[in-house]
């Protein structure tokens, strides 16, 4: 089966967690909205008033299924491509971790958009500065400290042990994103999460991920995505 991924064609955003899983799995997929007529096709599916219309991108067409919500897509792909544990308890656990990453990603977004997504960053600079300070003082230590602890207790190279799961790929993306958006803050913080940094390095050299990162399928970080670099927010 050839999957069809639908996501905004010029950003990594939330679609990137799905792209990383598809790439690592070596799955056959089209990044539909980046192809000819793809944006029109995506908008048509979002405007569809019948069936199971997604609320927002990303969504994945898998045969007759249309699956929305990043963590939901990953749960579906994970069990089909060896990127999730086989037993139910393990699948529930990695999904739980992915939902915690989802929460963190929303908080990353709100560092530059604390007042609202319909306004420009330039119109919310002052609250963005305050929210970013709170994010780095309180939230980053709490979230990344949690994953660091899990990694040190896992007894293996990855978060659940010996085998990589989709959560490991998402944690790679979190480290990459924080490095891009907040290079100074992240540089100072990394000493607190050595296990997470090692995991990032381990994921980066997985053959399929390495090939993906070197390809033009990997969109560069930019200031339209979730992780945005604004000098004023990076001390």
Chain residues in the site for a second copy (CB under 8 A): 49-50, 52-55, 64-65, 67-69, 71-72, 75-76, 89, 92-93, 95-96, 99-100, 102-103, 106, 110, 114-119, 127, 130-131, 134-135, 137-139, 143, 146, 149-150, 153
Q: Which is nearer to a second copy, 92 or 220 (CB)?
A: 92
Helix (H, G, I), strand (E, B) or coil at 62: strand
Place of tokens 């390495």: 210
| Long-range CB contact pairs, 91-97, < 8 A, 24+ | 93/160, 94/159, 94/160, 94/165, 94/166, 94/167, 95/71, 97/147, 97/150, 97/159, 97/167
Q: How far apart, in whole angstroms, are the C-alpha atoms of residue 182 and residue 148?
A: 19
Structure tokens at 5: 């991924």
Q: Which is nearer to a second copy, 55 or 122 (CB)?
A: 55
Chain centroid to Cα 108, Å, comes to 11
28 or 88: CB nearest a second copy: 88
Shortest distance (Å) from residue 23 CB to a second copy: 22
Distance of closest approach, residue 152 Cβ to a second copy, in angstroms:
9
Q: Exposure pattern of 126-157 as b/e (b: 16+ CB <10 Å)?
A: eebbebbeebbeebbeebbeebbebbeeeeee
Alpha carbons 44 and 106: distance in angstroms, whole number = 26
Output the smallest distance, CB 4 to a second copy, in A.
16
Of the two residues 35 and 127, which places its CB atom closer to a second copy in the complex? Answer: 127
C-beta closer to a second copy: residue 68 or 209: 68
Rounded to a whole number of angstroms, the minimum distance from the CB of residue 134 to a second copy is 3
Cβ of residue 126: shortest distance to a second copy, in angstroms? Answer: 9
Q: What's the closest the beta carbon of residue 70 comes to a second copy, in angstroms?
A: 8
Nearer to a second copy, 49 or 215 (CB): 49
Strand partners, 67: 60
Q: Using DSSP, state whether 11 is helix, strand or coil.
A: coil
């Amino acid at each position: 089966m050839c999957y069809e991924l639908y996501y905004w064609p010029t950003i990594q955003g939330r679609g990137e967690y799905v792209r990383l899983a598809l790439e690592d799995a070596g799955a056959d997929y089209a990044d539909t909205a980046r192809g000819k007529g793809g944006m029109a096709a995506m908008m048509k599916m979002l405007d569809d008033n019948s069936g199971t219309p997604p609320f927002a991108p990303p969504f994945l067409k898998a045969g007759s299924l249309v699956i929305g919500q990043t963590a939901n897509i990953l749960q579906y792909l994970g069990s089909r491509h060896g990127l999730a544990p086989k037993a139910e308890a393990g699948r529930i656990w990695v999904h739980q971790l992915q939902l915690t990453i989802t929460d963190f990603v929303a908080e990353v977004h709100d560092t530059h958009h604390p007042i609202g997504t319909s306004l420009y960053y330039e119109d919310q600079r002052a609250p963005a500065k305050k929210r970013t300070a709170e994010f780095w003082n309180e939230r980053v230590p709490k979230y990344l400290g949690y994953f660091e602890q899990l990694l040190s207790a896992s007894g293996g190279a990855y978060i659940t042990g010996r085998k990589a799961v989709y959560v490991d790929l998402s944690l790679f993306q979190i480290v990459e994103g924080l490095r891009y958006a907040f290079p100074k803050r992240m540089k100072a913080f990394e000493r607190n999460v050595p296990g997470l940094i090692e995991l990032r390095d381990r994921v980066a050299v997985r053959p399929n991920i390495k090939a993906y990162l070197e390809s033009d399928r990997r969109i560069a970080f930019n200031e339209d995505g979730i992780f945005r670099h604004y000098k004023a927010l990076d001390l």
